[in-house]
Amino acid sequence: MLYWKRWWWWLLAFWQRYSQIIIFTSLFVIFTTYITYRFNLLPQSGKKIALIGRYNLNQLPDEVSLKLSFGLTRNINGKISPGIAKKWQIKDQGKTYVFYLNDLIWHDGQKLKAKDLHFRIKNTQIQAIDDKTLAIKLKQSLASLPAFLTAPLFKSGLVGVGPYKVKHISVGRDKSLRLITLEQQGRSLSLLDKQITYVFYPSYNQAKTAFMLAELDVLPNLLSIEEFKSFPNIKIIPKVDKDKVVVLFFNLDNDYLQDKKFRQALAYATDKFESQYLRATGPFNPESFYYNPDVNRFDYNLDKAKTLFAKTAMATASAQEKIKLTLVTPAEFLSLAEKIKDSWQKINNRLIVKLQVSYETSPRFDALIKVQSIPLDPDQYFLWHSTQESNISRLKSARIDQFLEDGRKEISVNKRKEIYNNFQKYLVDEVPAVFLFQPTTYTIERQRDILELLQIKWRQIKQGLVISRK
């Protein structure tokens, strides 16, 4: 009892001494908070984020479209999850999918109905059974269909059902996007996240310059940050992206590279840069249920590379004949490509490797370093099947084609796993490519304090006054 009395007398003495300061401070906080929100004195520009590339209203980057809406399904941490559809059923041995829709409201205030949803899927029949039920009928079973339905759906004018809606769009004369501003629906815990503006730049250098001039808050998806390490007032956020893999593709139309032993020799002579990155051994996310770790790793072994090369037809050809290869790489991997070049040339002094820096998706190449996105579903038909233009290695293998055809038709998860285990094993053994590593990407964020935010708002107010006078 005595203990509580002492605390009570201490609090009473503290209040008598500091009551005026406490009352004044509380009133000041309440007043400034009211004035700030009543007269909208906080900056409304929110975050400005750079996106590199040319996009239009019919082809938005995922970072934008996934904030505006959902697909029938969603990719949540690498798993197919409900989106606009709350659940679905597979019927007729995988040829019919029935989706049951959530109760959702479009950004224009209208209720979402099955008849509102439109898809571009070849060889399908789509039927709105009622307002909340949609059926998709296929000519042949396709186990990967739910993964293809993660693409966000819209009504005309980019009206979606996501957490953000479009506030402003600016396009150039060529109809390419210059910027798009999104506004969050409902309350936001972060004032900077309430409104987000994506600014589009055709090149990395232009985006970097804008960031250095303080015209941007965020520069995402960088593969290198050397030039930013000494930059003040920024936060660097690294991320190992297991949904992507850096691949060294071989062009199997090249006469030399049609020799499997030569490709194997190059694979063994290729550094996988394990000291810098998370090593990749195949085309799947290492956390995927379908990932097969029991494949040929092609660990660096120059002696084995020389032995394999000695068994090739070109090893017995004229000593005067030079074996010339062009290795194409994006600038971010140029230093790695130089190490690969030096290592390859150690296989045999007749091997000459030329480096070429290019950002083109499909340049002419003998070997190509490329960051490849890993599909959500194990179905990689479009990447490796011999009939596909997107099969950039020009791989032609009846066995691998069969695995790809069977895998996309099989509904049983365990049977699919067996099929894709075999697919990975034989693909890696065939060496149409060398799987190097999962890339580490970096996001650079500018750190803004409250004074800088108020300065931004003051510039906005002055700009508004100038416009109003005109």
Which listed CATH number (3.10.180.10, 3.10.105.10, 3.40.50.2300, 3.40.605.10) goes with 244-438?
Answer: 3.10.105.10
What pLDDT, in 10s, does the model give residues 36-85?
A: 544 444 444 578 999 988 899 888 999 999 999 999 999 887 788 999 99
3-class SS letters over the chain: CHHHHHHHHHHHHHHHHHHHHHHHHHHHHHHHHHHHHHCCCCCCCCEEEEEECCCECCECCHHHHHHHCCCCEEEECCEEEECCEEEEEEEHHHCEEEEEECCCECCCCCECCHHHCCCCCCCEEEEEEECCEEEEEECCCCCCHHHHCCCCCCECCCECCCCEEEEEEEECCCCCEEEEEEEECCCCCCHHHHEEEEEEECCHHHHHHHHHCCCCCEEEEECCCHHHCCCCCEEEEEEECCCEEEEEEECCCCCHHHCHHHHHHHHHCCCCCCCCCEECCCCCCCCCCCCCCCCCCCCCCHHHHHHHHHCCHHHHCCCCCCEEEEEEECHHHHHHHHHHHHHHHCCCCCEEEEEEECCCCCCCCCEEEEEEECCCCCCCHHHHCCCCCCCCCCCCCHHHHHHHHHHHHCCCHHHHHHHHHHHHHHHHHHCCEEEEEECEEEEEEECCCHHHHHHHHHHHHHHHHHHHHC
What pLDDT, in 10s, does the model give residues 133-164?
A: 999 999 989 999 999 899 999 998 899 999 99
Residue 447: predicted pLDDT: 80
pLDDT reading at 10 higher than 70: no
pLDDT band at residue 190 using 50, 70 and 90 as cut-offs:
low
So what's the architecture of 162-241+443-469 in CATH? Answer: 3-Layer(aba) Sandwich (3.40)
% of the chain surpassing 70 pLDDT = 85
Residue 189: predicted pLDDT: 46
Rounded average pLDDT over 445-457: 62
Map out the domains of the chain as residue ranges. 71-148, 162-241+443-469, 244-438
pLDDT reading at 362 higher than 80: no
Select, from the ranges 77-81, 319-323, 354-358, the one with the highest average predicted confidence (pLDDT): 354-358
Residue 157: predicted pLDDT: 85
So what's the architecture of 71-148 in CATH? Answer: Alpha-Beta Complex (3.90)
Choose the weakest-confidence range: 42-46, 327-331, 339-343, 402-406: 42-46
pLDDT band at residue 228 using 50, 70 and 90 as cut-offs:
confident
